[in-house]
Structure 1
Amino acid sequence: MDNRNMSDIIESYLKEILETTNKIEIRRSEMANLFNCVPSQINYVINTRFTVPKGYKVESKRGGGGYIRIFKINLLSSSDYLQNLTEIVESKLSESEAEAVLEQLHGNHLITDREFRLLVSLFDSKSLLPSENVSALRSQMMLSLLERLAYEELE
């Protein structure tokens, strides 16, 4: 086996399936059995690697007959997409959440490679003065960026 950890293997498996379809439905216990891991490992992968900023929507139902559904977000237009991103950016934004949003913008060709690298460095904790409001500042910066990108599209 290669040097990837179990979370990477589970993520790769699910993403491989999602390459051929836009939606999958899994059962947490069945996935845990398949990968010989605890069910909470499946939850961890779903909660951290299949988020809206990363281009996925997740629905789940617990209990008997429960399921986890993962949907790839289909972009209708970049302005719709930018609006959806604006709605999910909360009043506080971590560095990793900001990078995930930037990866989505880059992956959907809304920013160039160079712009992506520059923006990642701007949202980096080393670029922002340490304070208890740094997550709020990062959130405001992201909202401004998304607004500007939407505005440029309308021009």
Structure 2
Amino acid sequence: MKSMSDVIENYLKQILTQSEQDLIEIKRSELAKRFECVPSQINYVISTRFTIEKGYVVESKRGGGGYIRITRAKISDHAELLRQVSDLVGHGIDQRTAESVIMRLFEEKVVNKREANLMLAAVDRSILALKYPEERDIVRARIMQAMIESLRYE
């Protein structure tokens, strides 16, 4: 059975897909009423499932006429996406963010399913068995940067 967060995420992605502009504007309170949940549930879904590393830009305006605008980030080409991903990875990246980045590369067809699975395996915390999480994040970033660099020169 899907969680409420999954249902809300799928609904938002569906209406985003139907949008001609890859953009939707929603009212948090109306969405909460539709799904019979608290507005903080909507905030949770948007802040965890619609992030820049997953390919979304979120803008929020609070107040009476407030809204949340979700835009699917468009990348002109794979080289630009790889540059953005490299900047995002930086010198340290946690596992959850690395997984989101890899899934975005897969969704944008920069890597195929097998390559994505190999990348996910290479950055898994169980493989990077270091004493301190900060060290693991640094090593994970170096591995990610090396993979991104190799993707630039296919």
How does the TM-score come out when normalised to structure 1? 0.89
Q: Which residue of 121, 133, 148 corresponds with 1:146? A: 148
Alignment of 1:36-115 (within 5 A): 36-115=36-115
**CA separation in 2, counterparts of 1:31 and 1:138?**
37
Q: Which runs of 4+ in 1 moved over 6 A?
A: none
**CA separation in 2, counterparts of 1:98 and 1:26?**
28
Worse overlay, 42-51 or 93-102: 93-102
Q: Which runs of 5+ in 2 are unaligned?
A: none
Q: Which runs of 5+ in 1 are unaligned?
A: none
Confirm or deny that 1:127 pairs with 2:127: yes
Amino acid at match of 2:102: L
Counting aligned pairs with the same residue, the percent is: 43
| Structure 1 pair 31–96 and aligned structure 2 pair: CA distance change class (3 A) | same
**CA separation in 1, counterparts of 2:47 and 2:125?**
23
Give 1:94 deviation, angstroms: 1.7
Give 1:90 deviation, angstroms: 4.4
**CA separation in 1, counterparts of 2:79 and 2:59?**
24
Give 1:117 deviation, angstroms: 1.3
Give 1:30 deviation, angstroms: 1.2
Amino acid at match of 2:17: E
Amino acid at match of 2:37: C
**CA separation in 2, counterparts of 1:49 and 1:90?**
21
Offset from partner CA, 1:96-144 (integer Å, 9 cap, x none):
2111111111222222222111111111111102222111221222223
Amino acid at match of 1:7: S
Give 1:92 deviation, angstroms: 3.0
Q: Aligned-pair RMSD on alpha carbons?
A: 1.5
**CA separation in 1, counterparts of 2:90 and 2:65?**
32
Aligned to 1:116: 116
**CA separation in 2, counterparts of 1:55 and 1:37?**
26
**CA separation in 1, counterparts of 2:50 and 2:79?**
22
Give 1:13 deviation, angstroms: 0.5
How does the TM-score come out when normalised to structure 2? 0.89
